[in-house]
């Protein structure tokens, strides 16, 4: 799991531009036994190459302690930023690198604590380790050993501590995301009535605190404890084992004709896969280190490709909207974004010819048919349609009339609930669950298509009034 791919320091251009964990190695006195090649520093990144280069080009006060001693660089790719966060914590705990001493501004590392109340009901929260003096000089070698102890969590009770985690904000977001497939308590007690988190589906509710417990509450508590064990395994980097366990449970329930329970497991698997694969937890500090161009051309394209489920990078996106009042002066718009930026020179507008009755589906069908009739306009990798499942289906039907367009992915956005419907995927994806840069891009596309359609619609109405 943790076999780093190792390269020489001057080969940093060979590092991948994906999420993962990186490590620095030194053959100096810091590492007197170079054959063991233990890392002196471990970090995580949303773009390994950019992050490693920033250590050398824009060193922080911590980097100055060791950066000139680095001889080799190791890296491990992950499928998401969440996996990188978890892997970083496990590797720091395993190798205890000498210069993973404190987080920024002299803050301590973070641990996830799984505690139990007097009724053996688990609850989860985040804590710091006990504070100790910060070491600011390599010369104090004896104190360096004391710093290594900072990587070990306090053991004051029977609670389980998982960590150390470096970024508190990223850790909080990760736990919030993991609360979807595995709802959990965050305090010893629960109010008698449902709390806000209960209504959001993120808390098991007051039922498990019944005294004496009913048979239903007892069974619910057993299931809750099993889910907490799975969540612990995920935080320890054992995502595959948890997914396999859930799939096995679902299969057994289906065999016993317990389809309702099997469906719950299926939804949990889906939520977990979405969290681990599609959720971005980019820290603000690291975002500031990235250039706008890097974020647009590398990260957004990569995340979009995963969300949409295509093997091709997504650089060109077209978005469509229909505007009319009771079918009158109906217009269709097509806006084009290249690498996350609008290209207004390629915008197109359509004066709808399909009757005078309000029929958004028929109007969208006409707009797309006329668009596909123009091979001189470069075709996109993805099309975003303003509307819900009906608009998605008609767009797919029009697109699939010609095999040349089979690799174009169609997405639709239902404005009311801001849900995304994606070609080839069952159900919908809440827009707010996506990474912030994807969320912003989708809304910007949709708003721009709507603005462009409305502007042309108003122009046609004005012309009709003058004649």
Contact by Cβ (8 Å): 410, 423: yes
- Supply the pLDDT for residue 145: 44
Strands of the sheet with 110-116, listed across from one edge: 122-128, 110-116, 160-165
**DSSP notation for 338-367:** ETTEE-GGG-EEEE--S-SS--HHHHHHHH
Decide if 385 contacts 392 (C-beta within 8 A): yes
Cis before residue 212, ω within 30 degrees of 0? yes
pTM over 0.85: no
pLDDT at 408: 93
The residues, ordered by sequence, that sit 6+ positions from 388 with a Cβ below 8 Å of its Cβ are 412, 414, 419, 421
Ramachandran region, residue 324 (left: φ > 0; alpha: ψ -120 to 50; beta: rest): beta
In 10 A of CB 128, how many CB atoms? 16
The pLDDT tens digits of the residues spanning 420-463 come to 899 988 778 887 777 667 888 888 898 898 888 888 878 877 76
- C-alpha distances (whole Å) from 315 to each of 12, 18, 29, 343 are 26, 17, 48, 12
pLDDT for res 464: 63
Q: What angle do CA 208, 213, 217 make, to 5 degrees?
A: 45
The predicted-structure confidence for 58-112, as pLDDT tens digits, reads as follows: 877 677 778 888 989 999 998 777 888 888 888 888 888 888 754 433 356 788 8
**Residues 318/324/330/334 CA torsion (nearest 10 deg):** -10
Q: At what angle do helices 81-95 and 259-278 cross, to 10 degrees?
A: 80
Residue reference for tokens 């501590």: 161
Per residue of the chain (467 residues), give pLDDT as tens: 468 899 998 888 999 988 889 999 987 544 445 445 778 899 988 889 988 998 888 877 677 778 888 989 999 998 777 888 888 888 888 888 888 754 433 356 788 899 998 888 999 998 875 444 333 333 333 444 444 444 444 445 678 888 778 777 778 888 888 888 889 999 988 988 888 788 778 899 998 988 888 888 888 899 999 999 999 988 888 888 888 888 888 878 777 777 677 777 887 887 777 766 644 443 333 333 333 333 344 556 777 787 787 878 888 999 999 887 665 678 889 999 998 889 999 999 998 887 666 688 999 999 999 999 998 999 999 999 998 899 999 999 999 998 888 889 999 998 777 788 999 887 788 877 776 678 888 888 988 988 888 888 788 777 666 55
- Token readout for 410 is 């169609």
What domains are there in the chain, each with its CATH number?
5-278 (no CATH), 293-466 (3.30.420.340)
């Amino acid at each position: 799991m943790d076999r780093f791919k190792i390269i020489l320091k001057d080969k940093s251009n060979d590092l991948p531009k994906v999420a993962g964990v990186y490590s620095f190695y030194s053959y100096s006195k810091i590492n007197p036994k170079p054959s063991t090649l233990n890392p002196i520093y471990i970090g995580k990144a949303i773009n390994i190459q950019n992050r490693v280069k920033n250590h050398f080009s824009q060193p922080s006060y911590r980097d100055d302690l060791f950066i000139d001693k680095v001889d080799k660089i190791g890296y491990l790719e992950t499928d998401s930023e969440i996996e990188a966060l978890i892997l970083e914590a496990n590797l720091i705990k395993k190798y205890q690198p000498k210069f993973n001493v404190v987080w920024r501004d002299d803050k301590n590392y973070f641990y996830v604590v799984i505690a139990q109340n007097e009724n053996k009901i688990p609850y989860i929260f985040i804590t710091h380790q006990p504070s100790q003096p910060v070491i600011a000089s390599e010369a104090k070698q004896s104190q360096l050993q004391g710093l290594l102890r900072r990587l070990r969590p306090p053991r004051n009770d029977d609670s389980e501590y998982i960590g150390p985690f470096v970024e508190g904000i990223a850790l909080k977001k990760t736990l919030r995301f993991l609360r979807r497939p595995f709802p959990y308590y965050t305090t010893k007690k629960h109010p008698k009535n449902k709390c806000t988190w209960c209504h959001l589906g993120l808390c098991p509710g007051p039922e498990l605190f019944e005294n004496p417990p009913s048979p239903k509450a007892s069974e619910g508590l057993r299931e809750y404890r099993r889910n907490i064990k799975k969540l612990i395994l995920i935080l320890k980097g054992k995502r595959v084992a948890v997914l396999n366990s859930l799939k096995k449970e679902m299969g057994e329930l289906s065999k016993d004709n317990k389809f309702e329970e099997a469906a719950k497991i299926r939804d949990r698997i889906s939520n977990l896969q979405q969290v681990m694969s599609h959720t971005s937890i980019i820290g603000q500090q690291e975002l500031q280190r990235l250039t706008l161009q890097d974020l647009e051309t590398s990260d957004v394209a990569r995340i979009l490709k995963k969300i949409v489920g295509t093997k091709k990078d997504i650089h060109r996106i077209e978005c469509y909207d229909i505007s009319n009042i009771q079918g009158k002066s109906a217009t269709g718009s097509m806006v084009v974004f290249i690498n996350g930026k609008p290209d207004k020179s390629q915008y197109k507008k359509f004066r709808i010819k399909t009757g005078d009755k309000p029929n958004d589906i028929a109007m969208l069908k006409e707009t797309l048919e006329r668009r596909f009739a123009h091979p001189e306009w470069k075709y996109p990798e993805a099309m975003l349609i303003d509307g819900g499942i009906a608009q998605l289906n008609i767009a797919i039907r029009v697109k699939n009339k010609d095999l040349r367009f089979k690799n174009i992915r169609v997405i639709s956005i239902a404005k009311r609930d801001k849900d995304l419907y994606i070609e080839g995927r069952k159900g919908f994806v809440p827009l707010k669950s996506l990474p912030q840069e994807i969320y912003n891009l989708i809304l910007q596309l949709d708003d721009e298509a709507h603005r462009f359609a409305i502007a042309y619609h108003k122009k046609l109405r004005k012309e009709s009034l003058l004649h």
